[in-house]
């Protein structure tokens, strides 16, 4: 069976959605979730879903040899960043070419880059009076939010929307599309 590893830093609602999707489908499984935050909500979600989850600190992550070996041992077909906020070290990118993907809550290249995550993205979209926003799923490279785009989906921003309601619309797009895009990538030749 195809193996997915998820890296997440926060609440983990996307991680939960992906885990549940593949539990139901049976076409792949999330073998483990890793987080860089001890208090991340994703840990509690994984406990509830009976999915293995691990915390790692900055030292473990930047000792890339160790981390690469750990991940290699899990033999992942895809490494999925679902709200993961640390930059991926070059050694990890080299060890897993075309294997690490990220979801970003805007229509990249708009509202990407260092410091642009979660609510900050939606506030900027609101402040700039954008009429649409959306999600971008992309391969990860050495720069924040700059890897090749795999998929985008849009939603309208109404004048009455605030950052919270924009976040809700964007999350809905994420829940709808992210697991399906992952499934498609896993079905592709060579994955």
Interaction site with ligand GAR (CB under 6 A): 8, 10-14, 82-83, 103-105, 117-118, 121, 171, 174
Minimum CB separation from ligand GAR for residue 30, in Å? 13
Which residue from 160, 162, 151, 153 is spatially nearest to 125, judged by alpha carbons?
162
Q: Which residues pair with 101 in a beta bridge?
A: 80, 139
Of residues 14 and 99, the one with the C-beta less far from ligand GAR: 14
Minimum CB separation from ligand GAR for residue 8, in Å? 6
Minimum CB separation from ligand GAR for residue 136, in Å? 9
Minimum CB separation from ligand GAR for residue 33, in Å? 11
Q: Is 13 annotated as a binding residue?
A: yes
Q: Which residues pair with 135 in a beta bridge?
A: 153
171 tagged catalytic:
no
- Contacts of 91 by beta carbon, 8 Å cutoff, 6+ apart: 64, 65, 68
56 DSSP 8-state letter: -
Of residues 95 and 135, the one with the C-beta less far from ligand GAR: 135
Please report, in angstroms and rounded to a whole number, the separation of the first and last CA atoms in the chain: 11
Q: Is 83 annotated as a binding residue?
A: no
Q: Is 58 annotated as a binding residue?
A: yes
Q: What is the DSSP string of 9-33?
A: -S--HHHHHHHHHHHHH-SEEEEEE
Q: Is 75 annotated as a binding residue?
A: no
Of residues 10 and 147, the one with the C-beta less far from ligand GAR: 10
Q: Which residue is nearest to ligand GAR (CB)?
A: 83
Structure-token match 């509690």, residue found? 44
Q: Is 118 annotated as a binding residue?
A: no
Which residue from 39, 40, 32 is spatially nearest to 70, judged by alpha carbons?
32
Question: Residues at the annotated binding site?
Answer: 12-14, 58, 102
**What is the set of active-site residues?**
104
Question: Residues at the annotated binding site for (6R)-10-formyltetrahydrofolate?
Answer: 58, 102
């Amino acid at each position: 069976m195809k193996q997915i590893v998820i890296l997440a830093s926060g609440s983990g609602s996307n991680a939960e959605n992906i885990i549940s999707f593949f539990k139901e489908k049976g076409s792949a499984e999330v073998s483990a979730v890793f987080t860089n935050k001890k208090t991340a909500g994703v840990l509690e979600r994984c406990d509830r879903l009976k999915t293995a989850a691990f915390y790692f600190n900055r030292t473990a992550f930047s000792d890339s040899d160790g981390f690469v070996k750990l991940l290699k041992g899990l033999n992942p077909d895809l490494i999925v960043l679902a709200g993961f906020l640390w930059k991926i070290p070059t050694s990890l990118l080299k060890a897993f070419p075309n294997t690490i993907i990220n979801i970003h809550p805007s229509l990249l290249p708009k509202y990407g880059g260092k410091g642009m995550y979660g609510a900050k993205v939606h506030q900027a979209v609101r402040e700039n009076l954008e009429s649409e926003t959306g999600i971008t799923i992309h391969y990860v490279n050495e720069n924040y939010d700059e890897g090749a785009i795999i998929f985008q989906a849009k939603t309208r921003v109404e004048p009455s929307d605030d950052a919270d309601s924009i976040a809700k619309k964007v999350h809905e797009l994420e829940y709808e599309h992210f697991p399906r895009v992952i499934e498609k990538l896993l079905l592709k030749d060579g994955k």
